[in-house]
Amino acid sequence: MSKTKWIVMWGVLALISLLTLLSLYGAFIGADRAKAFFNTLPLSVFWIAFILLLGAGIIIFKSLLRSPGQLLSHLGGIAIILGAMWGSQGGHEFQKNLLGKEMVQNGTLLLYEGQSDNRVPMKNANLNIGARNGRATFFEGEGSTSRMVSDHDERVFTLPFEIRLTDFHMEYYSTAQLLVKDQNGKEFLLESLKVGTRYKVANDAEFTIKALFNNAKMRQVEGKYDLQESPASGSNPAIKVLIQYEDGSEEEQIAFANYPSGMGQQKRFSLQYRTGGGMVKDYFSDLQVIENGKVVKEKTIEVNDPLYYGGYHFYQSSYDSRAGQYTVLSVSSDSGLYLVYAGYWMLCVGIIWQMWFLPIYNERKRLKLKEGGTNGN
């Protein structure tokens, strides 16, 4: 093996090993920090070096051209990295400065019923969104130090079309339920909730309903704070449960219908309390795309079923939980997305070809040659 081939081969292996370590690090720092980390200048150099070495491997190792599986795997890796770089913040700046194509990578769009808007504050712009006279407003800071931000601020992007919210509606759960999730993401749904009822959850935990509240308030009783039913008007549904483990340990947890994060010391389980008719099951936004004064597209979106138009995906992100008068959409550019998809397809097909089809083909070829040799004898 020549020195050049040796350098390329071990260089790719070293970068793959480093990528594995970087991915493990990114998994522990959270999605937003990981995204910022993988878009830093040193990592940009890393991605470029990765692409160059993979490309050099295709040119130098002629055998790759005769092996569809290996070739597709290399091309898939290159396409994934190129697509991710094209869709990054740096990629969007490159498109704007050199190609004159300006798009926002990620942002938020707040829409009131019957209103249309095209102003998108960028995700990392540190702007808060408020409302005034049925229209979204943007400001920075909090309290007395807050300051309104104009629509022409560089942190507010203007789409070349408008999105109108014609209707917003919610779907509710019909009966009270308690959704229990363990640390591995496994879910247990507890129904027919009554005080004193016991439920077996997993193999070593038992849940007992200790109390149900319609309007829970925190009170101090004998020097300790505890949840009590408030006689005042209002609605704050809550549930208190006792969790007992086979090893004899136990813990108490409280879950609020209006505050899904819950309270109490959480060890293995997290709780989400759904009250009949009060807990939102799903929410929908009826949207119209308006361009040049005409409605060019309509769609009802919900969580994980976005609207796509003009190079953007509009995802259902949040909503007005009090009055249901507005919806909040997450706006994401599709730059580089389809190149990443194509790269994953090539990578998958290449691996399947190399690990499955090729061995089957070689085995059949070997058997055919053996059969031919036997007949010849």
279 has a pLDDT exceeding 80 = no
Which DSSP letter does residue 125 get?
S
Q: What percent of the chain has pLDDT over 90?
A: 19
Give the pLDDT of residue 264.
43
**Whether pTM exceeds 0.75:** no
Label residue 291 by pLDDT band (50, 70, 90): very high
Which strand ranges, in their side-by-side order, compose the sheet holding 187-190? Answer: 187-190, 177-182, 269-274
Give the pLDDT of residue 267.
65
Label residue 206 by pLDDT band (50, 70, 90): very high
Closest CA to 274 of 256, 251, 248: 256
88 has a pLDDT exceeding 50 = yes
278 has a pLDDT exceeding 60 = no
| Residue 286 phi, psi dihedral angles, 5° rounding | -90, 115
Give the pLDDT of residue 269.
85
- Give yes or no: residues 162 and 289 share one domain: yes
Q: Which domain holds residue 48?
A: 3-96+336-376
Label residue 160 by pLDDT band (50, 70, 90): very high
Give the pLDDT of residue 306.
93
Residue 65 forms part of a structural domain: yes
Q: What percent of the chain has pLDDT over 70?
A: 89
Distance CA 75, CA 59 (A): 12
Contacts of 280 (CB under 8 A, 6+ apart): 170, 171, 172, 173, 321
197 has a pLDDT exceeding 80 = yes
- Give yes or no: residues 192 and 263 share one domain: yes
Which range of 266-275, 335-344, 360-369 scores highest in mean pLDDT? It is 335-344
Residue 71 forms part of a structural domain: yes
Q: For the ranges 163-177, 220-234, 300-314, 315-329, which has the lowest average pLDDT?
A: 220-234
- Give yes or no: residues 159 and 292 share one domain: yes
- Give yes or no: residues 8 and 91 share one domain: yes
Give the pLDDT of residue 300.
94
State mean pLDDT over 310-317.
Answer: 92
State mean pLDDT over 101-109.
Answer: 88
Last residue of a domain, one of 227, 245, 274: 274
Last residue of a domain, one of 274, 292, 313: 274
Write out the two tokens for 183: 């640390």
- Give yes or no: residues 191 and 250 share one domain: yes
- Give yes or no: residues 15 and 45 share one domain: yes
Give the pLDDT of residue 233.
64
- Give yes or no: residues 244 and 288 share one domain: no
Region of 234 (left: φ > 0; alpha: ψ -120 to 50; beta: rest) is: left
237 has a pLDDT exceeding 80 = yes
Residue 32 forms part of a structural domain: yes
